[in-house]
Amino acid sequence: KLGNATAKAELGRATWKYFHTVMARFPEKPTEDQQEALRSYIFLFARLYPCGECAEHFQQHLNKYPPQVSSRKAAAGWACFIHNEVNAMLEKPEFDCTNLGAFYDCGCAEDENAEKG
């Protein structure tokens, strides 16, 4: 099957941007409920990802490396690691996860201190 590689890559870039931005905004000290919400979200995200082949691969990565949801740092580090697993599978260069810093900025500094549910 031929598919459309350009559309698949475009979807991937947009999705990764969103995915890492979610992690960058996850609470530093999440409640049990917030941790469970992120864990559920990640598994459902993997099930529902529109590219079926990608979803299948990603679910395999998830089974091998379960989501880390204990803190923002853990979640962001885990997401960077799992994206690097996909990068490796696709023979793309590894991203330096120590450089995550402010790379994923949601542009929503005004609610920096607002509670996230």
Query: Footprint of ligand FAD on this chain (CB under 6 A)?
Result: 8-9, 12-13, 15-16, 20, 49, 53-54, 57-58, 80, 83-84, 86-87, 90, 92, 95
- Closest C-alpha among 54, 52, 47 to residue 83: 54
Instruction: Please state the closest distance from residue 32 (CB atom) to ligand FAD, in A.
Output: 26
Q: What is the dihedral of CA 14, 15, 18, 23, to 10 degrees?
A: -150
Looking at beta carbons only, is 6 or 113 nearer to ligand FAD?
6
Q: Give the shortest CB-113-to-ligand FAD separation in angstroms.
A: 25
Under 8 Å between Cβ of 45 and 38: no
